[in-house]
Structure formats: C-alpha cells, structure tokens
Structure 1
C-alpha cells in the first residue's frame, strides 16, 4: 500500500478539496502534485496527534514535536495551502472545513489500523499553555502574560531589534531595516501624543520598555510602565539604570486596574500609550480598560492605542486567532473588529482624532524577526529548546501571512480627553506628527 497516497486521499476527502501539496510518508512513499510543497510525515506519532485532536491543533502538535514538517520555504507552503482553501470556499462555502462525522472517523480509524498508527494519545508538547482559573481574573491574566513573555529575555534580544519593540514597526520605505522601522514607529507615537519634557506618561503593557525608555530618553517625559511580567519589569529597570534614566522611568508590576496603587492619579496623566496590549484585555473587560484610561488622563490628555484586529467573520470563528495561537502564543487573547474598538473608546468619553491602518507594515516587521530566528537558530534552540523554537517559526510565518492576506489588521488609534467645555488642544492637521 502506498501510505502517502492513502493518507492524502483521506485528507482531501475530509477537507473537500484537492490539496496542492506532495506528501511523503515515513516509509518514503510519496503522492500528490509533482513540484508542489512537500509535507513530510516523519513518523506515526504525527498521525496519532491528528487522530486524537483533529484539525489545526493536532497538526500543530505534530509540527512542534518534529513529527511533521514542510521541506523548503514554510511560508510558501502555507501560502499555497491558504490559496487552495480560499479558492475552494469561493466555489463551495463548505470546502476547506473539516467534515469529521462518523463516516470520516471510521475511515480514519480503519486506515490507522492498516498503517499501524493506532496508539495512546501522545502527550501534548510542553510548550502549550495550561491556564486555570476565572477568565481574565488578575491571576489568570498574569499567567497568560508569563507564558509568552517570560520565555527568555535573551531569546527576545536575539529576535527583536535593539529597541526591543515587540509590535509592528512603521516602514516608511520598504528598504528600512527592522531597527529603523521600529525607531520610526516610536517617534511617530511620541509625536502623536504631543510629548514634551516634564510631561507624565503611562505605558500600559510596556513590554521590554521600547516606548517607555525611548520616550524618557528622547522626549524628556516621566514614564510609568505597566506590566504583569516580572522578567520584563526587571529588564526595563536594568536598562533605565544603564542609561541614567532612573529619575524618569519606573515600572509597575501591576494589572492596569490597579494603577492607583502605583501613584497614578485620576486626571493627572498627560499621555497614555497601549501598544498591542489591548488584545489581551478581553471583550467584556475592554470597557473597564477604556474607562480607566479616561479617568487617568487630564483634560486635553491624549491616548494612543496600537492594536491588532480581526474582521467580523473571523471574530465569529476564532477571536483569539485560532487553536494554534490561542494554545501556544497568546492564550485568552480577544481581537475585535476595528469599528468595535473605536466605538468602545468613544463610549468612554474619549474623542477619536486619528486612525492609521498599518496592516501592510506587519509582514515586513515579522520578516525581520523571522530572519533573526533563522540566522540564530542554534542559539535560539539552546535558549528555549527545539519545541519552543519550532513554535516560534510557525508563529512568525503564519502571523505574517494572516496580515498579508487581510485576515488580521493592526491600527494606531489616537484619541483625546476633551475638557468640560470641549477644548482638545489638538493640532489642526496630522501633518504635525507625520513631519
């Protein structure tokens, strides 16, 4: 029996489409289109992963553990697959969606028996998150952030630019390096917020301090960073000391709901930034998030929120981005359509003044991170282990494609808290911050 042909036929029947791949089984048998991306099933454990957890998560587990791979360019392979799914769904709305009924289960089980692949459920990769407790409680939010961001500061230094900016850059020209694009993004945020020496700023979800340190050093503001990651807090404070910024930078290891405990007073903040942190707040909790921002800002104070989004259709399906992202990268994440986010910000009493779409910038940013991972693969494996390194390779390639193909977006939303008589104190033209 040609094992590869049998497996490919079952997969195509289950998905209801012809797969644009060539499949190679563990015995060396092959089937599928000549010259197409080659999917390699290295051993029978890959099948057990998919049998016990059909769909994206089972395939991801097999990939993360090295039981399944794609020869050549992983991005091109995934791009080819997505194109085939889109074309099939355009012709038949049910195509490309797994049809896992009793008939398919029986066929899969029978084939697994013939292939000798029946066995116990394989253990899930250690890289998976395992959160407990009430959704978006302070304790669970901290565990979710720790799962991803406390992986290894050394690893993130390996992947990110020298600013340690873990968000979309601003590629003014395609030729910009990763560092240049991130620096341009930081300047853009600071200009939009109208930062001037002596102002007080809060950076909610401050990460490794890219904006916190940049605003303090280049714009002379006093910044309170907010994070739930002790690794990030310690990193930022160390960098602040090295740069002589201790008098202008502090990092609060608190939930954004508890900022008053760190000396953030109502109506006392000149500027607030939240750079790709709002996705982690949750749907119901977002009202508390925007109302807190409004309460902390002084009249005339500005807020800039850079946030990822998903379309209405995508949110209805998987608001967190899908089983792989939700299990390995950002558990409990909830991305909203841009229009909903704008509405929630406005409902809190903040006046929307500018929205800048940056979707096309993200694939360029991610390409820089992916190049860093590829060029430093052995070091990355030594730092975080091969499973985690494979998680990151799949995450970066898949994430770039999601933005490239408009399944995800990212936007900068600038808003102001007007005074009681409506004074905003904003420039009359966005040229003030684009110059």
Structure 2
C-alpha cells in the first residue's frame, strides 16, 4: 500500500499564529463573492458556525481549519485537495459537481507556468532539466512506479474494466460501456501497429497485461512485456499461466533501460507499444528513451507511443497547486510535455512520425467512467486501502477528467517507424517501412 505524504497547513498572510477558529473578514468577503459566481450552488462552512454561499447547495466545503481560507480565495485547488486528503477539509456533493466548482475557482490558464523571457526562461529550463534528470534514475523510477501501481491490484479492479486497462479508452459511435471502449482501444492499437501472426511485439510498461493478451489471442503475435510493478508482474504471470499462453506471452520485472537489444530474449522486435509509459520517463530522459526503443525495433518496424501530453508548450505540470497534488499523492516523478516536444525527441532519436491522433475527449470520458465506478464502491475501496488513498483517488480521477475536458492536458497516439533506408523494397515506394501511408487498413471490417 502506498504511503501518502503529509502536507503543511498554510497561514494567512504568512502569519503562522493565525487563530484556527477565526478568519479575517476580507478573506470571507472574497470567498463569498467567488462562491456567487460559481456554476454550481456552493456553500462554505467555517469553524465557529460561520457559513457563506448558497443555502441549498449542491456542493458543501467544510473547512476544519480557517487558515485554509486564503487557498480558496486564491483558487489554489491543488492545496485544497491536499487538505481534503489530510482530513482538514470535508466535502459533500458529487465529484462531477465538485469538478465544475474546482475548474471555476482556478485562476487563469493553469498550463501557462513558464512565460518568463530571456535569461529567466533559460534558467528555468536548466533547473527543470536538472530536476528531471535527478528524479528519473533507475532506482527512483522503480520507487515511483511502485508508489502508484502497487497500491492494490484489487483496489484498481474496483473501477477499471474487467481487463484492467489503465489508459485512455476509445469510444467510437455505438460504444457505450467502458469494457467495450477498452477493447476498441486495444484493437485500434493493434491495427495501427499492423500486427501479423508470428511477429514479435514488445509492450513497454505492460500494466496488467491487457494489450499483451489481446495481441497474442486476436492477432497471433509473440508478445513480451516489461513492468516495474511487482504486483502487476505477479498478476500477469498468473493470467499467462491460466490462459495457456506461456509459449507466446511473457513479462519481465525490468527497467526499459535494461531490456536486451540482442539475443533470443531480446530485440530487435517487429513492433513496439509504449502505452501510458513515457509520462513516467521524464522530459530529460525522453531522447534516451526513444533511442533505446529505436535500437530495440527492427528496421522498417513500427512503434506506437500512446500517452498524456501537456496542454501548454512549456509546462511540465498544471498550476494552481494541481501538479503538486498529483506529484505528492498520485504520480511522483510524472512529467508532462507538449506533443511537439515528444515528436521532436522521436525525430532526434531517428524515428519517423507517421500518424498522430488526438484522443483528448476520449480520455475525459474514460476518466469519468473510472470516477463513477469508484464512487459506486467507496466502502469496498476503503476496506482495501485507506481513507486517505480513497480521498486522493476520488479527486485525481474527477479532476483529471475535468482537465482533459478543458484542454489542460491531452492524449496523443503517435505512430512512428524506424526507416530501413530501402526506397524500393516496400509496396509503397519510399515508405521504408510496412506502413502504407493511408488509413484504410484501420477501418476495414
């Protein structure tokens, strides 16, 4: 079970001795005015019986420490989320209503965190790069992955689909259940990779094995996955044995940097999938990451990189304290980069981008499905983890759905190849890979 880190209680105007039971009138007045402008009827209750906002409210925020009031006045929703996890704030209302309130409270655009010019921007980027390098060494990566994914297999099973696909689903017309949407996503990935029977597929960050098993059972490939999560590894090993797929599917507890590049158990692979993985790699390690994948990929082979990207060009996380909350309680070490930076790193690594598809609204819908499922089983979730973990994930799922709806984050599938340099050796002259440079193969029944 993950151990959530404690937060410190802020003070009003930096005054650490501010009384816990009172709050300056100016903060109360500011908050009262803000509550009146919210899209959902909201009431704030303070210690001492003070209440402001709507009388018949859909969302009630109950501050147990009045020193948190400035956070609400200033729209620091991430710090308020920390207060909720730590038991200093109580919330009544649905997660969907709460997300609307949080979005309205955020001041300005939370993706614009690096607007400094000249030397200031240069120094900011240097500091960010140094921080990213220090956070993404093998030992720290393993610790950070285990912090998130080893909370509890059974906890994730409460709100994921039966295949436990923990990444953006695909919702084509007529698909209305999470299970069907995740199967549609798995099939979309396999079609984009143009998987053929007998090919070798590497799944980097294989999760609970959904893509490995789908690709082997529906497309006849030999699939190998890697993960840093001991719980996921044990779970997938059990599935492989139960389904009698040991001759075609395998998974290793392994860092991507340590995947063999040659030999019977190593590369090169015909196709590689990186699904929801590169967000954990870190901005400073993107180029080495894609260079490693290129070396693992056969000349002419295809790579699918599916993951969360930043809504802004320069921010690595969201403002208003949102990114700090996610870093502390959900994804330590996670970093966002704009899709243009991802494509630049792939190109510098020698990979040619072939196709880009933005599935941002699909992820918002996926996250709401996860959120609704968790909300329906809160008692079971508490029995498997702790109240603090449940509080953190309630806000994380609903808040992320809200962020994708508003374009603060995005989700992109980038298909790339390792060009083989053989101009006339493919059906499409100059393709230098199996890719046909059109999408007809995706939509054939």
Contact 1:203/1:272 (<8 A) preserved: yes
Aligned to 2:98: 77
1:103-114 matched pairs, under 5 angstroms: none
Q: How far off its partner does 1:56 sit?
A: 4.6
Task: Find the aligned partners of 2:410 and 2:235 in 1 and give their Cα distance.
Answer: 29
Q: Deviation at 1:217?
A: 1.5
Q: Deviations over 1:210-251 (max 9, x none)?
A: 111111121111111011111111100100111111111111
Q: What whole-Å deviation, never above 9, does each CA across 1:45-80 have from its counterpart, x for those lacking one?
A: 8849979xx945542232013331332223323313
Q: Which moved more, 1:8-17 or 1:67-76?
A: 8-17
CA distance in 2, matches of 1:276, 1:213: 17
Matches within 5 A, 1:108-187: 134-173=134-173, 175-187=175-187
Give CA deviations for 1:314-370 in whole Å, capped at 9, x if unaligned. 616649961111111111111110111111112211111110100000121112211
Deviation at 1:13, TM superposition (A): 4.9
Query: Does the residue aligned with 2:223 lie in a helix, a strand or coil?
Result: strand
Give 1:43's aligned residue: 64
Label 1:22 to 1:227 Cα distance change in 2 as closer, same or farther (>3 A).
Answer: same
Contact 2:259–2:266 (CA<8 Å) still a contact in 1? no
2:284 aligns with 284
Aligned residue in 1 for 2:81: 60
Alignment coverage as a number of residue pairs: 391
Matches within 5 A, 1:214-229: 214-229=214-229
Per mean C-alpha deviation after superposition, the further-off stretch among 390-399 and 254-263 is: 254-263
> After superposition, where does 1:311-322 map in structure 2 within 5 Å?
311-312=311-312, 315=315, 318=318, 322=323
- Confirm or deny: 8 A CA contact 1:268 1:298 kept in the other structure: yes
Alignment of 1:4-403 (within 5 A): 6=23, 9-10=26-27, 13=30, 20=38, 21-35=42-56, 37-41=58-62, 43-44=64-65, 47=68, 55-56=76-77, 58-85=79-106, 89=108, 134-173=134-173, 175-260=175-260, 268-312=268-312, 315=315, 318=318, 322-403=323-404
SS of match in other structure, 2:135 = coil
Paired residue secondary structure (2:315): helix
Name the structure 1 match of 2:119.
none
Separation in 1 of the partners of 2:301 and 2:25?
Answer: 59
Q: Does 1:424 align with 2:433?
A: yes
Q: 1:318 to 1:61 in 2, by over 3 A?
A: closer
List gaps (5 residues or longer) in structure 2: 1-19, 114-132, 424-431
CA-based RMSD: 3.2
The structure, 1 or 2, with the larger RCO (C-alpha pairs under 8 Å, 6+ apart) is 2
Deviation at 1:9, TM superposition (A): 4.0
TM-score (norm 2): 0.80
**In 2, Cα distance between the equivalents of 1:15 and 1:274?**
47
**Distance in 2 separating the partners of 1:416 and 1:226:** 21
CA contact (8 A) 2:22 2:48 kept: no
CA contact (8 A) 1:50 1:58 kept: yes
Provide the rounded CA distance (Å) in 2 between the counterparts of 1:227 and 1:299.
25
Judge conservation of contact 2:79–2:322 (CA < 8 Å) in 1: no
Q: Post-superposition shift, 1:8?
A: 7.7
Per-residue deviation at 1:24? 1.1
Deviates more, 1:361-370 or 1:41-50: 41-50
**Structure 2: distance between partners of 1:47 and 1:404:** 28
User: Residues 4 and 29 of structure 1 are in contact (CA less than 8 Å); yes or no, is this contact kept in structure 2?
Assistant: no
Structure 1 position 176, deviation (Å) = 1.8
Give the Cα separation in 2 of the matches to 1:4 and 1:175.
51
